[in-house]
């Protein structure tokens, strides 16, 4: 199972919106609504931001939103803040009953 494809880096200024894409196939992203997104700051464990494509766990700001179209899922961060600077990973359930992560995206707040 190959890693899902994400852009290596995305940047934006404070207050702007950015979108991170996550491209897979019909065997993962395109076939199931079990896409999740994680935020990871350096030296820390990942934190769940989005599950089930669009759902936010309690405590996650509504600036973070998820969507999916075909084989590509997306995470949008609205009103970008300095603390949003981190690495972001998508994840999907697969047809093999396994999970796969994306390649990761480094978000820089300019």
Q: Is 81 near another protein (CB under 8 A)?
A: no
Token pair belonging to 42: 């350096």
Integer CA distances (angstroms), 18 to 15, 28, 34, 78, 81, in order: 10, 24, 22, 7, 11
By CB under 8 A, is residue 104 in contact with another protein?
Answer: yes
Stretch that binds another protein, among 21-29, 67-75, 77-85, 89-97 (CB under 8 A): 89-97
Tokens representing 85 are 């600077």
Residues that bind another protein (CB under 8 A): 1, 3, 32-36, 38, 40, 45-48, 50-52, 55, 57, 87, 89, 91-93, 96-104
């Amino acid at each position: 199972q190959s890693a899902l494809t994400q852009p290596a880096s995305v940047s934006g200024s404070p207050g702007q919106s950015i979108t991170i894409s996550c491209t897979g196939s019909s065997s993962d992203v395109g076939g199931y609504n079990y896409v999740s997104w994680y935020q990871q700051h350096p030296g820390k464990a990942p934190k769940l931001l989005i599950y089930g494509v669009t759902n936010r766990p309690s405590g996650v700001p509504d600036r973070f939103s998820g969507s999916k179209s075909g084989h590509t899922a997306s995470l949008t961060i609205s009103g970008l803040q300095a603390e949003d600077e981190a690495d972001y990973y998508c994840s999907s359930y697969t047809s093999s009953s396994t999970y796969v992560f994306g390649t990761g995206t480094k978000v820089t707040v300019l």
